[in-house]
Chain A
Amino acid sequence: MKTMRIISLLLFVSAIAVGSLTAQEKMSKDAWQSEMATFQQKVADLNAQITKLTSDRDNLKTQSDKLDGDLRSCEDALYAMLGVTRADVEAFDKELADMEARVAELQRMSDAELLNHRDEIERMNTRLGEMAGSKIALIPRYGSRVQALKEKVDGLMKSLQREKTYTVGTWSRDRDCLWNIAKKRDIYANAWMWPKIWQGNRDMIKDPDLIKPKWVLKIPEGKELSKAEKSAANSYYRKRASGPASD
Chain B
Amino acid sequence: MTRALKPLLVAAFLGVGLFLSSCSSSPSDEELRMLEDLKAQATQLEGKVSELQRDKAGLEKQIADKNAKLQQCQSDQEAVKKALGK
List residues of chain A with CB under 8 Å of any chain B CB: 1, 4-5, 7-9, 11-12, 14-16, 18-20, 22-23, 26-30, 32, 35-36, 39-40, 42-43, 46-47, 49-50, 53-54, 56-57, 60-61, 63-64, 67-68, 70-71, 74-75, 77-78, 81-82, 138-141
Contacts and interface: CB of A to CB of B under 8 A. Distances in A.
Interface of B: 3-5, 7-8, 10-12, 14-16, 18-19, 21-23, 25-27, 31-32, 34-35, 38-39, 41-42, 45-46, 48-49, 52-53, 55-56, 59-60, 62-63, 66-67, 69-70, 72-77, 79-81, 83-84, 86
A7 B8 contact: yes
Contacts of B32: 27, 32
17 contacts: A11-B12, A15-B15, A18-B15, A18-B19, A32-B31, A36-B31, A39-B35, A53-B53, A57-B56, A70-B70, A74-B77, A77-B77, A78-B80, A81-B80, A81-B81, A81-B84, A140-B79
- Closest A-B pairs by Cβ, 4 of them: A15-B15, A53-B52, A46-B45, A12-B11
B49 A15 contact: no
A36 B35 contact: yes
Given A74-B77, A139-B76, A9 B26 contact: no
Contacts of B80: 78, 81-82, 138-139
A78 B73 contact: yes
A57 B56 CA distance: 5
Contacts, number: 147
Contacts of A14: 15
Contacts of A74: 70, 73-74, 77
Contacts of A32: 27, 31-32, 35
Contacts of A70: 70
Contacts of B38: 36, 39-40, 43
B73 A39 contact: no
Contact of B14 (A15, A18, A43, A81): A15
A40 B35 CA distance: 9
A118 B58 CA distance: 46
A55 B34 CA distance: 30
Nearest to B18: A19
B10 A57 contact: no
A187 B27 CA distance: 92
Contact of B49 (A18, A26, A50): A50
A19 B59 CA distance: 57
